[in-house]
Amino acid sequence: MELFNDLVIPVGSSHLTLIRLMLYISASFLFAYTGLLFGSVFLSYRAASKAKKDNDFRYQKLAQDLIKVGTGITGMWFGLGIVPFLSFILGYPQLLAGTEGDVVGYIIVGLLVFSMAVASIYVYKNSLNFKSVFYSFKTNVRSKSESIVEDYHDLDEDIENTGAFTGIWGILLLIVATWFLSGATTYAYDNSMWGQSIFEMLFSANTTFKTLLILAMGTAFASAVYMFYAFSWQGGYKFANEEVKNLSKNFVRKFGLNSALLIPLLYAFQIVSIPNNALSGLMFVFGLLSLLFVVFFAQSIYLTKAEEHSSGIKYGFMFIMISFAMFAAQDQQAFHISVAENLNSISEIHTKAEEERHAGYASSEEAPVVDAQAIYDTRCIACHKFDKKQLTAPAYNDVIPKYEGKEAELVKFILNPYPQNTKDYPAGMANQGLTPAESKAMAKWLLGKVLGEGDKEAEPSAEKPAEEATASK
């Protein structure tokens, strides 16, 4: 995928943060929407099959309502599916630049299969709608003409077959698309797969469990969305009678509940199969939160059995959405940890370019002068003291010594912080948005203050932290 690697531009650390944010948002949409769409077709297809098997048209109506869950809003497949796929294609190579992780090909395959699935699903949806039209014809038009009735009959059968065919293809293609999506996101953080064959990627334990998890969560999500619209929002749907209402509720509720029970198991397998190079405390926090919200979801869908708790499904709907958002956060956190090293090398390229630019006027008066003390006083002091560890951040006197003689590494950290003391500070330090020149001055100054090496000019003010410490006692 040379083309996309050519699009990679050397970016500074603040841009990298922006790209990470974009990837996170895209991952939330993609996981949630592919899941939802799958749940929607899957449930609809099951309802339609039941309608045919039992010759019970009430399920046909349910199938129609269920497919609306994933396709009801015009263009949602584009905004929530295609667009995030495209941002993956643009975003991932930026962060994997210079590594062997060539993830774009897999994402493109995912996108193509996803598009085919969407096409199938829309044909399926239309055939359900036609089926209903034919049904009203059959029941309402008392035609005496044998030939017209026969015509209807043939067309009806045709529609029925198209529906069954495109429905099953929609489901299969969507599973394959989800598989590639999971595979690509796993591949991005599992560097043991880089340079290996496509089968390594598709059949790794993490890819497999992630795929199953998205499908199960999607089924839960689709059932929550249906139940929300049917029984809660603005008083719910107008059902023909109580019986139809209960039959629809029980059908969907069963799938929602079963998938909610399956999710914790899949989640556990998914999380233990994440490779070591991507593990971090924060990632587990996101994973656990995601799981917690699935439990809340299960609770609220369980309670819908009683009529008076039906509207509680609106919380279930919210819980499962949050759960998806946390799942995407877990995934992107794993990616972030695994590429932290690489992120630094990307901003190094940027730093070099920047330095060259500065070298142009380094000797002249215009060379930018950076006042490290001022930066500390305005930006770092909020969290850091020199001699006292705080809830917000470690004491410089504890963490700076390990950078003795490694100024360049300290510059790297300040320019683009990556997790260090994950035990005490699982969230790490937020990027402070310093320029390379500022980071360099800052590193010199910190080393000077704590170890007395580097920037000797900083020495005279070395008493200040001591004063501060007494003040804070």
**Which of the stretches 139-147, 260-268, 324-332, 372-380 binds ligand HEC when contact is defined by CB under 6 A?**
372-380
Q: How far is the CB of 390 from ligand HEC (least distance, A)?
A: 9
Q: Which is nearer to ligand HEC, 67 or 429 (CB)?
A: 429
**Least distance in angstroms from the C-beta of 425 to ligand HEC:** 4
For 381, the token pair is 């002091």
Instruction: Give residue 118's identity as a one-letter amino acid code.
Output: V
* Distance in angstroms (rounded) separating the CA atoms of residues 296 and 352: 50
**CA 289 to CA 357: how far, in whole Å?**
46
Q: Which CB, 272 or 382, lies closer to ligand HEC?
A: 382
* 148: Cβ contacts below 8 Å, ≥ 6 apart: none
- Binding map of ligand HEC across residues 392-431, x = CB under 6 A, - = no contact: xxx----x-------------xx----xxx---x--xxx-
CA 355 to chain centre: 36
Contact residue for ligand HEC among 384, 385, 412, 444 (CB under 6 A) = 384
Site string for ligand HEC, 438-467 (x = CB under 6 A): ----x-------------------------
Is the Cβ–Cβ distance between 50 and 31 less than 8 Å? no
Closest distance to ligand HEC from the beta carbon of 97 (Å): 24
Query: Which one-letter amino acid corresponds to residue 314?
Result: K
User: How far is residue 301 from each of residues 62, 224, 228, 252, measured CA to CA in Å?
Assistant: 18, 8, 10, 10
Residue 115: what are its φ and ψ, rounded to 5°?
A: -60, -40
Alpha-carbon distance 291 to 87, whole Å?
27
CA 440 from chain centre, in angstroms, equals 34
Of 23, 63, 346, 380, the one binding ligand HEC by CB under 6 A: 380
Closer residue to ligand HEC (CB): 187 or 386: 386
Nearer to ligand HEC, 165 or 413 (CB): 413
CA distance 195 to 103: 10
Only one residue has tokens 């598009």, namely 115
Nearer to ligand HEC, 243 or 409 (CB): 409
Q: How far is the CB of 420 from ligand HEC (least distance, A)?
A: 3
Residue 423 CA to residue 428 CA, distance in Å, equals 10
Binding residues for ligand HEC, how many (CB under 6 A)? 22
The correct pick among 15, 52, 314, 379 for binding ligand HEC (CB under 6 A) is 379
In terms of CB distance, is 240 or 430 closer to ligand HEC?
430
Of 119, 318, 383, 469, the one binding ligand HEC by CB under 6 A: 383
The structure tokens 């330090």 sit at 429
Beta carbon of residue 423, minimum distance to ligand HEC (angstroms, whole number): 9
Whether the Cβ atoms of residue 449 and residue 462 lie closer than 8 Å to each other:
yes
Residues that bind ligand HEC (CB under 6 A): 375, 379-380, 382-384, 392-394, 399, 413-414, 419-421, 425, 428-430, 432, 434, 442
